[in-house]
Amino acid sequence: MRQVILDTETTGLDPADGHRIVEIGCVEVVNRKLTGNRLHLYLNPDRDSDPEALEVHGLTTEFLSGHPRFEDVYQQFVDFVRGAEVIIHNAAFDCKFLNAELDRVGLPPVGDLCEKITDSLAYARELHPGRRNSLDALCERYGISNAHRTLHGALLDSELLADVWLAMTRGQDALLMDFQDDEQANATGGAVKVKVDTSQLRVITASDAELAEHQAYLELLDKAVKGECVWRAYEPAEAAVAE
C-alpha cells in the first residue's frame, strides 16, 4: 500500500479570508516503510502571513516572493498524491486549504485525487482518549525526538508524523503478515496466503493499582445513579464474585 504523509503551512487560519498555503511537505511510505521519496514546495501566496502564523512557521513574505505560485507547480502535487492514502494530522484544516488552491486551478478536491484521506489526529484521539494528541505530544509519547523542531515546517512535520503514524499503527506489524507477490497470487488464481505469528502479539493487563482505581470510579458512578451503574452489567463474573 502506498501512503503519503502530508503537512502544510499557511498564511492564516481560513482560506475564506483570502489566506493561502505557503509550504507543502509530503513523504512517501510503501508497505509501512519510508521510501525516501518526498515532495517539498515553498509557495508564493501573494500576500503577507498573519503575525500569529508567521510566528509559527517563520516564512517571511520576502523569502516566499522568490518561489513559484501554486498554479505553477500544482501538477507536482497532484502526481505525488494520486492514488495514495493521504495521512494528515487534523486533516480538515489542511484539506480546506488544499481544496481552495485546487479549485483556483480548476481541479476537484484532494479527496477525489487520492485513494482516501486519513486523519491521524482522529485516529490518535480514538487510541488515546482524553489525552493531548498534538504532534509534539505524540512524539513525546512514542519516544520520537523532535528536539530539532524550533519552528513548524511542513516537510519536517510530515517526517515526524510519518514516524508517529508508524509507531501508532505498529500493531499491524506484529501480525508479521507475509503476503505472496503478485506473480504467486496470479499463479494460484488470486488467492493470497497469510502467515500470522501470534506469539508476537502483546497482551497488556491492568495493574492492581489500576484495577483498584477502576473500582473506586465505579463506586462513584454507583452513588451518582443511586444504584448500580450500567458498567456493572459488563463486568466479568469473577470480578463480581471478588467484590
**20 contacts 101 by C-beta, under 8 angstroms:** yes
**96 contacts 8 by C-beta, under 8 angstroms:** no
Average pLDDT over residues 124-151: 87
**10 contacts 22 by C-beta, under 8 angstroms:** yes
Give the pLDDT score at 147.
73
In the block, residue with C-alpha cell 502571513: 49
- 3-class secondary-structure state, position 59: coil
Average pLDDT over residues 112-126: 96
Q: Is 148 marked active-site?
A: no
Q: Which one is catalytic: 19, 57, 89, 152?
A: 152
Task: Give the start-to-end residue ranges of the domains of the chain.
Answer: 2-169, 208-242
As a CATH number, domain 2-169 is 3.30.420.10
- 3-class secondary-structure state, position 119: strand
Segment 27-76, tens digit of pLDDT: 999 999 999 999 999 999 999 999 999 999 999 999 999 999 999 999 99
The band of 170, judged by pLDDT with boundaries at 50, 70 and 90, is confident
